[in-house]
Structure 1
Amino acid sequence: MKEIVILPWEEREDIKIYIPDYINTLAKEVIKNYNFQVYNMEAVATKSEQGGAIWKLSTNKGPKSLKLLHRRPTRSLFSLGAQRYLVDVKRARVPAIVKTKNGQDFIEAGGKLWFVAEWIEPLAPISKDLEGTKQLCYTLGQFHAQTRGYVPPNGAEIASRLYKWPKKYEKMMNKMDWFRNLAKAYREMPASSIILNVIDQYEDEVRTSLSRLNQSKYLDLIKKGNEEWGLAHQDYGWSNAQMGPNGMWIIDLDGVAYDLPIRDLRKLITGKMAELNKWDVTWVREMIKAYHKANPISPELYEVLLIDLSLPNEFYRFMKDMVLEPELFLNQTTAELVNSLIMTEQSKWPVLKAIQNDWR
């Protein structure tokens, strides 16, 4: 194959899913390494800003997916190894990797890894009501339990966030100062005064959470090591966990990394509460209980979950885009969204207080 380097690309308004011609050409070259005939090739998703894409292939051996992984090849090797481990060793419901004619799990082309996997169908999202959400949490717990013991293949980059929690909290605290300075610099913008009204409080909350983390059993927990804890999905939700043949399937494992598993659960809880526009003690309790049934949470790990929930997570996640184009970001729409996030955040504290002793 030609020495081509795949680069990020800009979307086109006139094309729903745009992939540059040279990448489509390269994709067809990659497919030649597989022992099936392709009748149709349909682009279904892209990560254009990072240089990744997914195609659905109709073949003489059933539907397949072709993925161009956007991360460094050594990092992609880590996630591919995890997918192989989950299918072959744990018999987990994740798509099986299709080997090349030479028995490999992937092809390297354009400076990135490509691979083919089985296309699971039919897949259907589960309901977003409480029962569906509990099912999602139970499936997440199963996934975490199944990933324990994973050892990456030779040459793979070790992707681990297990030891980085304090640094993540420190980064959040530093970014709060960035947000403050930008809001002051663009004080005339509609959202700036609202942000300045809460930023000191949120920075203090992060500082308190960091202190609590350092005083918790976190340092003892991480001594168990990467393989003992297993993998967190890092992007788990209704789109990446769906009902399919024989139960729930988990897809898109590209970002898996060693971590304390409750990081995924925390993201699921805070995201759902943001969707509800308020924190609900019944929902939070039931989500944790459903997860616990599949992957038991120790009192020490529960404490770390509560600490992670205490951060202004959704506010921070929303505000990160502010640093790119503050003069466009700090508009009236943002002001209204920030007000909603603040109200939701205020409703969190009675819920955390109500559940703090659930595991003691």
Structure 2
Amino acid sequence: MAMPVGPWADRGYPNPDQMVPPEVQAAAERVMARYDMNVAGMTLITAKSDKGGAIWKLETDRGPRSLKLLHRAPERSRFAVAAQDYLVRRKARVPALVTSKKGRLYSQAGGKLWIVTDWIEPLQPVSKVDLAGAQELCYGLGEFHRRSRGFIAPCRARRASRLYKWEQAYRKMAVKIGWFRNLGEVYQDVPGSQALLDVVDKFAAQAWEAYQRLQASPYRKLIQRGESAWGLAHQDYGWSNGQRGPGGLWIIDLDGVAYDLPIRDLRKLISSTMEDAGRWDVEWMRGMIDAYREANPVRRQVLEVLLVDFSLPNEFYKNVKEMVFRPVEFMGMELEPVLAQVATSEASKWQALQELAQVLGVSKA
């Protein structure tokens, strides 16, 4: 019996993200034999050794293709595979799935699902240094969201949805920021703890206020439209997963897609762009939103929820949450530089959000 495929990060391999274990390579070869293609070469592009996933580029007699080991449970992966096929049929620029000799969209081996897709080339990242590149990325995201509407999950798939979980996620963030305070108090003798205690109450207050604003926003009314009406969010969209290719912007790595309000992807993209820049720039934010709305027009109520989502202390939480797993090491070695970076971004965030709310004509952040 073939060995199951699982994470291999902690199994003693010297470069676990640059190789796969023998049982994974053997499973890949079994999977490739199920497709109508002759493989002349395969190159490992990336591996997720902590999750048990991998991507290869294949050189075949049918042209270059991709072989991907999906690390999630098969029921969850079926949702993503069906979503990708739906998007292809809706003329979205996502890699087309290659069917097996038996006409299936995926193959199963080692307890995981595998897919073969077209290898899109050439692909190149859009520019990070000017607004035009960011707008190109946002326009492509809007196209993706618009074409994903109407998707209905197949019966054998585990329906992936975050549409109805925003209030739960906001509350969870607020509670966990309270945990950060507790850790700072427990480890007061660790360098960095005082820097945390100096700011944590401010961010906890921001999280609870955002939670209350979400409850008072159009969110509950919007989600009543249902999952298929809103379609899918990528959940991990960024400068590497959206790239310029034949005919426009292509979106790749779809295995994490889920039903959601689409502007969650847009908020994450804008927030990370502003964080990388070190300051919140209203011109960039408005330009990115305008480009998105050109491809996927959204109404004022959706923009109101977008402003609420910006008001969460997302940057603080994202950069500090790892402290829960290794508090002493994190506080002693990493926390103070992280807090300094967050403080730099925070200095311009709130004024920018106020101005953005005015130019968009929505409730103030």
Q: What is the TM-score of this pair, normalised by structure 2? A: 0.95
Distance 2:314 2:185 in 1: 22
Q: How far apart are residue 33 of structure 1 and its match? A: 0.3
* Regions of 4+ moved over 3 Å: 11-16
Matched residue of 1:331: which SS?
A: helix
Matched residue of 2:360: which SS?
A: coil
The corresponding residue for 2:124 is 124
Q: How far apart are residue 207 of structure 1 and its match? A: 0.6
Matches within 5 A, 1:117-156: 117-128=117-128, 129-156=130-157
How much identity, in percent, do the aligned residues show? 49
Q: Which piece of structure 1 moves more, 325-334 or 129-138?
A: 325-334
Matched residue of 1:150: which SS?
A: coil
The corresponding residue for 1:199 is 200
The corresponding residue for 2:8 is 9
The corresponding residue for 2:103 is 103
Distance 1:78 1:164 in 2: 18
Contact 1:233–1:264 at 8 Å: present in 2 too?
Answer: yes
Contact 1:38–1:58 at 8 Å: present in 2 too?
Answer: yes
The corresponding residue for 1:274 is 275
Q: How far apart are residue 185 of structure 1 and its match? A: 2.0
Q: How far apart are residue 192 of structure 1 and its match? A: 1.6
Distance 2:16 2:86 in 1: 37
Contact 1:4–1:109 at 8 Å: present in 2 too?
Answer: no
Q: How far apart are residue 16 of structure 1 and its match? A: 6.0
Distance 2:19 2:335 in 1: 29
Matched residue of 1:98: which SS?
A: coil
Q: Provide the alpha-carbon RMSD of the alignment.
A: 1.3
Matched residue of 1:5: which SS?
A: coil
Matched residue of 1:97: which SS?
A: coil
Contact 1:312–1:345 at 8 Å: present in 2 too?
Answer: no
Matches within 5 A, 1:86-101: 86-88=87-89, 90-101=90-101
Contact 2:98–2:118 at 8 Å: present in 1 too?
Answer: yes
Which AA in structure 2 matches 1:61? R
Q: How far apart are residue 356 of structure 1 and its match? A: 1.3
Distance 1:321 1:340 in 2: 16
Which AA in structure 1 matches 2:84? Q
Matched residue of 2:346: which SS?
A: helix
The corresponding residue for 2:303 is 302
Q: How far apart are residue 3 of structure 1 and its match? A: 4.5
Distance 2:91 2:359 in 1: 33
Q: Which piece of structure 1 moves more, 7-16 or 203-212?
A: 7-16
Matched residue of 2:176: which SS?
A: helix
Distance 2:114 2:243 in 1: 24
Q: Which piece of structure 1 moves more, 257-266 or 188-197?
A: 188-197
The corresponding residue for 2:178 is 177
Judged with a 3 Å threshold, the aligned counterparts in structure 2 of structure 1 residues 172 and 15 are, in CA distance, closer, same or farther, namely closer
Which AA in structure 2 matches 1:5? P
Q: Which piece of structure 1 moves more, 286-295 or 179-188?
A: 179-188
Q: How far apart are residue 332 of structure 1 and its match? A: 4.2
Q: What CA deviation, in whole Å up to 9, does each residue of 1:53-95 have, x standing for no partner?
A: 111111111111111101111110001001101112x111100
Which AA in structure 1 matches 2:111? G
Aligned length: 358
Q: Is there any run of 5+ residues in structure 1 with no aligned partner, and where?
A: none
Q: Is there any run of 5+ residues in structure 2 with no aligned partner, and where?
A: none
Which AA in structure 1 matches 2:238? G
Which AA in structure 2 matches 1:126? V
The corresponding residue for 2:242 is 241
Q: How far apart are residue 334 of structure 1 and its match? A: 2.9
Distance 1:257 1:171 in 2: 19
